[in-house]
Amino acid sequence: MTDIFNYGTDHLTIGICLDIAAGKTKGIINKEAADMIKSSWREVEKIVHSHHPVYGINTGFGPLCDTRISEEDTSLLQSNILKSHSVGVGKPIPQEIAKLMMITKVQALAQGYSGIALATLQRIIWHIDNDIIPVVPEKGSVGASGDLAPLSHLFLPLIGLGEVFENGGRIPAGELLKKHGLQPLSLGPKEGLALINGTQFILAFAVKAVQRLDDTLNRADLIGAMSLEGLMGSIRPFDERLHQIRPFKGTRMVAHRLFTLLDGSEINSSHINCDRVQDPYSLRCMPQVHGASRNAWLHLKELTEIELNSVTDNPVIFNADDTISGGNFHGQPLALPLDYATTAAAEIGNIADRRCYLMSEGRYGLPKLLTHDAGLNSGLMIPQYTTAALVTENKTLCFPASADSVPTSLGQEDHVSMGSISGRKLHQVIDNIEYIQAIELLYAAQAMDFRRPLKSTPVIEACHQLVRQHVAFIQDDRVFAVDINSLHKLITDGSLLKTAVEAAIAHQIDLSHDEFGIY
């Protein structure tokens, strides 16, 4: 039975938003929200008939805000804004992101401050429910006054323009409407502006980034623990007492998870009394480094959820006599944490690359380049070149887009957030990290095999076994790109984390922390 979410009246979380996009939860407009929407619509009608100038209802847009629009042209004004602002370029954004844009836009508009028609919201929900997704180019937004260009493309199909994806195909929106027996909508006063004013492009990328970065951080702890076992590192740096006296949330969480993952390992027990005083930073500082990125993730999650339940339209309609032209559409509140999260994500790749290098050095009883016959075989020499390249690429992506602003709209919009770029860059960094983690997994599994017959803990052994089901132990050189791509698939399809969770549940090992969930 599908769960129900009430747009405009229920609290939207990141998890619920993703579930609506996945079809696991159905979003509806209940009577309470419908009444608020209709009331706001009536207030806009009063403004039109009163001829009192209110931005975007009976005036032009941006630098044309002082140009008055006649009552009979108010509807044409709204369809014109969708056409004229559809200036996006580049390849289409992922369909899931476009769907998240629609979901978050309905949540914002259904709160009853935007003067949108109920029928317009119901048409958007029809697109969501039937998985008919508008084609939205990836570039063109400066993140204020809202994500104008991408949102314009997103809602062109409402008036029969633009393109949509349906059942894997890409077709003109007008053709799609005819196919389903629907007519293009005639937008009323304020509707076009309400549709395109807002942060939903930035927000959709943030919602998906919270999920993807969460997975990335979970894998970092897991693969890092496997690397530590391969390198016969110590679990002493993960002692809870150490982190109680420097109690950052993320650090404590990572230390607890690493200790739990490694506690009881035969590999670890075999070298408790060795003469190694301390491990390199990439091993013993995992709580501090992974944990700092966890703290950034928590910050992004918190601010994203605030934005999910916010009204980011302009002007905001309290009633016909009380409208405010403000700046709730400005993307800065998300642009900054997205840039912060980008750096935090890149650091996960940086430290993973260092562990790969460490495993190839031939230290701590491991053969050089993790191969028995180095010389004739290059072994795992060159995969670390790839991690180094990806790490450097990520560094170039860490320049904060929000640190820049180019004035637009003839100077009316003289400071913009560039948060749309922040959101896209974060996903590019995560894309690269998924390959870095695949390569670290290749190294870690190989290193662990040199510790046999000693075993690690149930969770780590289950993950090692999963790797070996897809990638054989490396005896001689082969095309390692094939191995990397096989492990990359285990990472991106969720198999690695699923295996870890199932093993933890089977052995009653608690790896979870409620505050780090997305629901």
Instruction: Indicate which residues carry an active-site annotation.
Output: 55
What b/e string do you get for 90-106 counting C-beta neighbours within 10 Å, with b at 16 or more?
A: eebbbbebbbbbbbbbb
CA angle 307, 300, 206 (to 5 degrees): 65
Q: How big is the chain, counted in residues?
A: 519
CB 58 within 8 A of CB 189: yes
The DSSP string of 479-498 is: -HHHHHHHHHHHHHTSHHHH
Say which residue the tokens 């009979």 belong to.
72
Q: DSSP label at 366?
A: P
CB 422 within 8 A of CB 404: no
3-state secondary structure of 474: coil
CB 442 within 8 A of CB 489: no
Q: What is the dihedral of CA 436, 515, 7, 44, to 10 degrees?
A: -90
CA–CA gap between residue 205 and residue 21 (Å, rounded): 13
Q: DSSP label at 11?
A: P
3-state secondary structure of 88: coil
Sign of the Cα torsion 82, 88, 91, 93 reads negative
Alpha carbon 16 to its chain centroid, in Å, reads 14
CA–CA gap between residue 160 and residue 123 (Å, rounded): 12
Q: DSSP label at 170?
A: E
Residue 5 dihedral angles phi and psi, to the nearest 5°: -120, 135
Closest-CA residue to 64 (of 145, 139, 159, 155)? 145
Say which residue the tokens 């290059």 belong to.
378
Closest-CA residue to 219 (of 374, 401, 345)? 345
